[in-house]
Amino acid sequence: MDMSQYLDVFLEESKDHLRNLNASLLNLEKNPRDNAGLNEIFRAAHTLKGMSSTMGFNDLADLTHHMENVLSDLKEGLLEANSYVVDTLFECVDRLQIIIDGIESGTRVDADNSELIMKLETIKSGNYEAAAVLENELPTIEPGESTSINDDNVFSFNEYDITVMKEALSNGYSILHFKIGIDPDCMMKAVRAFMVFKTLEEDGEIIKTNPSAQDLDEGKFDKEFDLVLLTRADVSNLADRINNVSEVKVMASKTLNLDALLTSGTSLRTENKSEVASSAATANDADNNKKAHKIKQTVRVDIDRLDNLMNLVGELVMHKGRLEQIGATHKVTDLNETIEQIDRISTDLQSVVMKVRMVPIEQVFNRFPRMVRDLAKELDKEVDFLIEGKETELDRTVIDEIGDPLVHLLRNALDHGLESSSERVAKGKPRQGNLILRARHEGNNVYIEVEDDGAGIDQDKVIGKALEKGLITAKEAENLTREESINLLFLPGFSTANNVTDVSGRGVGLDVVKTKIESLNGEINVDSRPGQGTMFRIKLPLTLAIIQALMVSVKDEIYAIPLTSVDETTMITKQDIKMIQSQEVIMLRGNVLPLFRLARLIDLPDDLTEDAEMYVVVVRKGDRQIGLVVDTLIGQQEIVIKALGKILAGISGIAGAIVAGDGNVRLILDITTLF
């Protein structure tokens, strides 16, 4: 049987199980006697083994099988979940990840897991305690083995069942009786029964089981069970699919003859009207519940399809603006009502698409507990790692890009921020340091914070390193504020590490973080208190596709400024402008606001004529406010961001472009790189 059609499902489910294994092992390390956690680990490993075996990935199946052996002894209390055991299990999970990544990339080769398997066997044999346990083992199911089916007394059909079967026969369905056998060594019989049900219900409906569905769900059955299926599918094809479920075998199958059942009377249970009515009502309730459940089912959608959908919505928004302009220019009053309806529909559609693209940041955060645990052990530091706000949602495009910057920040906090246990005790701090990763919504932005309670940032050390590396001059160093000196951390090539290690010291770090954050139209700031700790705060837009912008004009050119960067607008006269050290400034509510002429910043032809009154857009860059002098404020507009392409990518001050309602291309200003 060609299993390649199931590869995508296998990969997705395998990744889910690996994430579950990592999270559960981390919990087991903290709570070695947590039986519920052990059961969760065992279930994940067991399911992975079954899936791998079914798909023909024998190296995966073999390794997870040996993991099961150790996990089984842990569950039974024959082994202790000490540091060595947990480390070995983590090694196994890492190997499983490597193999699955190879399968996904198409570069897979059978892995040599002999060393890991030997470790697992050593753990098991070294802690083995002999116990005399009497087991009445049932014979293992062999290929080709079968048994006969005797309809008598296997099922008890009521009148409702008979009615359903008659209706099915009239619509071209067959009534099939399967006897399913389970390997007696199977540890999760209920799971195997569920997998059989899932397989069969793709092409039919199971109307009867023996034992009952509840007993099957709870694993309360011996080595086999029976079921009746209504289907149009071929019985041999169904049997082959069942046999591909790990540790499951079709013992026998038969097409039931309804007339024969009715004639024999042995399988028909006579009921009074109230029982039949009750049975029918129960069946109807079950059908209703099934329908309600289907409404809540989810599907996996390729992100490229969502991107394409977003582009189409963007085009709709653009042409909506064009329609509005045509209506206003030509004064077509009959068009107004239609434009209003299109405006409402496009807004609702945009909202729906945005919600579909939003995913919990948990998808990124879940990869970090394991990384922090391993790095803390490598650095010999004790760390309590907390995650807050992982249910916070972000656009998928932002989610995909934020992972690497957070890796840098967390590694930086562990290596440079938190002290060793001995240093913390000497300072009167708890031996265990705290590292917090949190996310929260605030308006149209998401804030992500990485906070530690370590030593904080040494301002003098930062300035000294910057001077040593020639990143600033001695004169510049004398005039730096604390905020400016801390921001030296983001200069390319800056590092305070004295030695090059696997963790740091190569001069590649926070500058990469800042560049990536700014490419996402975000900002990053640092708040550090000597001796108390450091917090890196990242501000990101909820989405990168459709945003609100302030449209302005300069020298007959129109530009868009993202509203997330705009604090306010104001009007000034030439007399309001003062000069401080060759810099134009104005006083805005008691504060000095530096002024920049937008025309000069973007190299437009500069004539010296000035209007009596000028418009100023107050924008925010980091923690500072700056005034942009423009000719005209056009107004707020919803814009669809378009990339400039490879040739024009990376131009300072330009974030992208839009196609305006009149068909012209307008540039979007990037405030963070404009100055």
For 38, 67, 430, the CA distances from 118, given in Å and listed in that order, are 22, 11, 39
User: Percentages helix, strand, coil for the chain, rounded to the nearest 5?
Assistant: 45, 25, 30
Average pLDDT over residues 537-554: 82
For residue range 30-64, list pLDDT tens digits in order.
888 777 888 888 888 888 888 888 788 888 888 88
Average pLDDT over residues 372-387: 90
For residue range 183-193, list pLDDT tens digits in order.
887 777 777 88
The more confident residue out of 400 and 567 is 567
- The reported pLDDT for the residue numbered 618 is 93
Q: What percent of the chain has pLDDT over 90?
A: 11
For residue range 403-460, list pLDDT tens digits in order.
888 988 998 899 888 999 999 999 999 999 999 999 998 877 789 999 999 999 888 8
Residue 498 in this model has a pLDDT that exceeds 80? no
- The reported pLDDT for the residue numbered 609 is 59
Q: Is residue 244 annotated as a catalytic residue, yes or no?
A: no
Q: Which uninterrupted H or E stretch holds 100?
A: helix 83-105
Confidence band, pLDDT 50/70/90 cuts, at residue 624: confident
Residue 634 in this model has a pLDDT that exceeds 80? yes
Structure tokens that stand for 551 in this block: 């449209």
- The reported pLDDT for the residue numbered 300 is 65
Residue 139 in this model has a pLDDT that exceeds 80? no
- Spatial separation of the C-alpha atoms in residues 94 and 101, rounded to whole Å: 10
Confidence band, pLDDT 50/70/90 cuts, at residue 147: very low
Phi-psi region of 139 (alpha: psi -120 to 50; beta: other; left: phi over 0): beta
- The reported pLDDT for the residue numbered 545 is 63
The more confident residue out of 4 and 128 is 4
Q: What is the CA radius of gyration of the chain?
A: 34
The more confident residue out of 507 and 449 is 449
- The reported pLDDT for the residue numbered 279 is 41
Q: Is residue 584 annotated as a catalytic residue, yes or no?
A: no
The more confident residue out of 429 and 607 is 429
Exposure b/e, 199-238, CB count within 10 A at least 16 = b: ebeeebebbbbbeebeebeeeebebbbbbbbbbebebeeb
637 DSSP 8-state letter: E
Residue 198 in this model has a pLDDT that exceeds 90? no
Confidence band, pLDDT 50/70/90 cuts, at residue 233: confident
Confidence band, pLDDT 50/70/90 cuts, at residue 534: very high
Q: Which uninterrupted H or E stretch holds 214?
A: helix 213-217
Residue 272 in this model has a pLDDT that exceeds 50? no
Q: Is residue 66 annotated as a catalytic residue, yes or no?
A: no
- How many alpha carbons lie under 13 Å from residue 196 in its C-beta half-sphere? 30
Q: Are 584 and 595 in contact (CB under 8 A)?
A: yes
- The reported pLDDT for the residue numbered 448 is 93
- Spatial separation of the C-alpha atoms in residues 420 and 651, rounded to whole Å: 43
Residue 506 in this model has a pLDDT that exceeds 80? no
Catalytic residue among 20, 113, 158, 412: 412
For residue range 286-333, list pLDDT tens digits in order.
464 443 333 345 666 777 787 788 778 777 877 777 777 777 777 777
Q: Are 521 and 544 in contact (CB under 8 A)?
A: yes
The more confident residue out of 259 and 508 is 259
Q: Are 577 and 570 in contact (CB under 8 A)?
A: no
- The reported pLDDT for the residue numbered 442 is 80
Q: Maximum distance among all alpha carbons in the chain?
A: 107
The angle at the Cα of 648, spanning 643 to 651, to the nearest 5 degrees, equals: 95
The more confident residue out of 133 and 615 is 615
- The reported pLDDT for the residue numbered 544 is 64
Residue 118 CA, chain-centre distance (Å), reads 35
The more confident residue out of 207 and 662 is 207
Q: Are 271 and 279 in contact (CB under 8 A)?
A: yes
Confidence band, pLDDT 50/70/90 cuts, at residue 388: very high
Structure tokens that stand for 408 in this block: 């840098």
Q: Residue type for 387, please?
A: I
Please tell me the pTM assigned to this model: 0.55
Pair type for strands 174-182 and 632-640: unpaired
Structure tokens that stand for 451 in this block: 């906070």
- Spatial separation of the C-alpha atoms in residues 481 and 505, rounded to whole Å: 25
- Spatial separation of the C-alpha atoms in residues 535 and 280, rounded to whole Å: 62
For residue range 577-602, list pLDDT tens digits in order.
899 888 899 998 888 999 998 888 88
Shortest CA distance to 618 belongs to which of 519, 544, 541, 552?
A: 552
For 45, 51, 63, 349, the CA distances from 14, given in Å and listed in that order, are 10, 8, 14, 34
Instruction: Round the average pLDDT of the chain to a whole number and report it.
Output: 78
Average pLDDT over residues 135-150: 38
- The reported pLDDT for the residue numbered 430 is 92
Residue 648 in this model has a pLDDT that exceeds 80? no
Catalytic residue among 17, 46, 408, 416: 46
Alpha-carbon torsion 201, 205, 210, 213, what sign?
positive
For 161, 176, 292, 293, the CA distances from 280, given in Å and listed in that order, are 9, 22, 18, 20
* Range with lowest mean pLDDT among 263-272, 416-425, 653-662: 263-272
Catalytic residue among 29, 40, 68, 247: 68
For the sheet with 665-669, list strands across it: 632-640, 546-554, 557-562, 665-669, 654-659
Confidence band, pLDDT 50/70/90 cuts, at residue 620: confident
